[in-house]
Amino acid sequence: MDANVVISGIVALAALAFAAFIALRARSGGRDEALTRAIYGVAGRLSQLAESQAAAQAQLAERMQAQERALARTVEQRLAESAQRQATTLHDLRERLAVIDAAQKNITELSAQVVSLQDILSNKQARGAFGEIQLADIVTAMLPPSAYRFQAALGDGRRVDCLLELPNPPGSIAVDAKFPLESYHLLRNARDEAERLAAARAFSAAILKHVKDIADKYIVPGETAESALMFLPSEAIYAELHANFPDVVEKSFRAKVWIVSPTTLMATLNTVRAVLKDARMREQAGVIQKEVRSLLDDVGRLDDRVAALDRHFGQAAEDIRQIRISTDKVVKRADKIESVELGETEVVAEVAAPQAKLPVA
C-alpha cells in the first residue's frame, strides 16, 4: 500500500476522533473527564503515528531518489558502452564490407581473365602462342642465351618452337609447345561412363598423333638428338595423362618423345644446364692442360734461376768470407805495429843509416 494513503488515513482518523471528541464533550457538557483524557491520548498517538509515518515516508523517498540516480547513472553508462560497441561494430563492418568489395572486384577481374584465358585456349593459334610464351619464359629463366633458339629452322625448312643447342652427345633437342586441349575438355566434361570412354579414346588418339608428328618432324638424324620434348603448359593435363593413360606415356617413351609439364621441364633444363657446364669444361680441358704445361715450364725456369741465384749468393758469401779474412789480417798487423815501442836514437839511427849507404855523387 502507498505510504501517502496510509498517512492520509491516519490524518482522517485523527480528524474523526477529534470531531467525535468535540461532539461527546458538547453532549456531556464537559463532565466526562476520563473520556476526554482517552480521546486526547488517542489523538496524541495518532499524531505521533502520523509524524513517524511522515519521517519514514521522507526516508523512503530519499532512498528511492538515490536508487533512481544510481539506476540513471548505470543506464547512462550502459548506453554509452553500447553506443561505443555499436560504433566499433559499424567500423569493423565497414572495413569488412570494403574488403568484400575489393575481393568482389578482384573476383570480377579474375573472371574476366579466366574468360580471356578460355578464349585464348579455345583458339588453336592463340593456344599455341600461349604455350610458346610459357615455354619461352621457362627456358630464358633457366638457360643462358647461347643454349637455345626459338622458332629455329631445321635442315628441311621446318621450324620448331624451341631448339636446345647441346653438344654431341646428345645433340640439339627440339621442344614443341602445342597441345591437344579439345579432347581433354571432352574428357573432363563427360556426363556418363559411355561419354567418358569415348572421350578417353579421343584424348589418347590425339596425344599419340601429336607424339608421332613431333617424332617425324623434329627428330632429324645427324642434326638433332635422338629424342624430342612435347611441352604441355598445363599441370592438370600432365597429371591426367600419367594417372589414367600410362599406355600413352609408354608409347611416347618408345617414340623417344618425352612429355613434360612446366615443373618437369624446369627439372629437365637443370639437367641440360649441367650438361652444358660439363661440355664447357671439356672444351676448356685442352686449354687448361696447355696452360698447366706452360706453368710447369715457368716453374722449371724459376727453379733454375733460383739455383743460379743461390750459387751467386754462395759465391758472394765466399767473397765476403775472404774479405773478412783479409780485414782480420790487416787488423792484426795494425795491432802489432801499435805494440812496437821504439826509442828516439834508434829511430834517428835507422833513419840516418840508409842515408850513409847512399853513393856519393
* 132 plus 279 within the same structural domain: yes
Q: Is there a domain that residue 271 lies in?
A: yes
pLDDT the model gives residue 112: 55
Q: Which residue has the cell 553500447?
A: 82
pLDDT the model gives residue 220: 86
* 89 plus 175 within the same structural domain: no
Q: Which of 255, 283, 311 marks a domain boundary?
A: 283
Classify residue 266 as exposed, middle or buried by CB count within 10 Å of its CB (0-12, 13-18, 19+). Answer: middle
Q: Read out DSSP for 107-152? A: HHHHHHHHHHHHHHHHSHHHHHHHHHHHHHHHHHHHS-GGGEEEEE
Q: Is there a domain that residue 308 lies in?
A: no
pLDDT the model gives residue 38: 67
Q: Is there a domain that residue 144 lies in?
A: yes
pLDDT the model gives residue 242: 86
* Amino acid sitting at position 116: S
Q: Which of 259, 283, 307 marks a domain boundary?
A: 283
Q: Is there a domain that residue 277 lies in?
A: yes
* 178 plus 52 within the same structural domain: no
* 274 plus 127 within the same structural domain: yes
The domain of 258 spans 123-283
pLDDT the model gives residue 361: 38
Chunked mean pLDDT (size 10), the chain, 361 residues: 55 59 56 63 70 80 86 86 85 85 78 51 53 85 87 82 83 84 78 86 89 88 87 85 88 90 88 80 74 82 83 84 85 79 49 47 38
pLDDT the model gives residue 13: 59
Dihedral of alpha carbons 239, 245, 250, 252, sign: negative
* 27 plus 169 within the same structural domain: no
Please state the pTM of the whole predicted model: 0.46
* 257 plus 200 within the same structural domain: yes
pLDDT the model gives residue 117: 47
Q: Is there a domain that residue 61 lies in?
A: yes
* 54 plus 193 within the same structural domain: no
pLDDT the model gives residue 347: 46
Q: Compute φ and ψ for 31, nearest 5 degrees.
A: -90, -20
Q: Which of 229, 260, 283 marks a domain boundary?
A: 283
Dist. CA 84–CA 104, nearest whole Å? 30
pLDDT the model gives residue 356: 45
Pick from 112, 98, 9: nearest CA to 53 = 9
* 38 plus 173 within the same structural domain: no
Q: Is there a domain that residue 104 lies in?
A: no
Q: Is there a domain that residue 102 lies in?
A: no
pLDDT the model gives residue 294: 84
As for how many domains the chain has, the answer is 2
* 38 plus 127 within the same structural domain: no
The answer to whether residues 54 and 14 touch, using CB atoms and an 8 Å cutoff, is no
pLDDT the model gives residue 17: 59
* 266 plus 165 within the same structural domain: yes
* 16 plus 152 within the same structural domain: no
* 67 plus 127 within the same structural domain: no
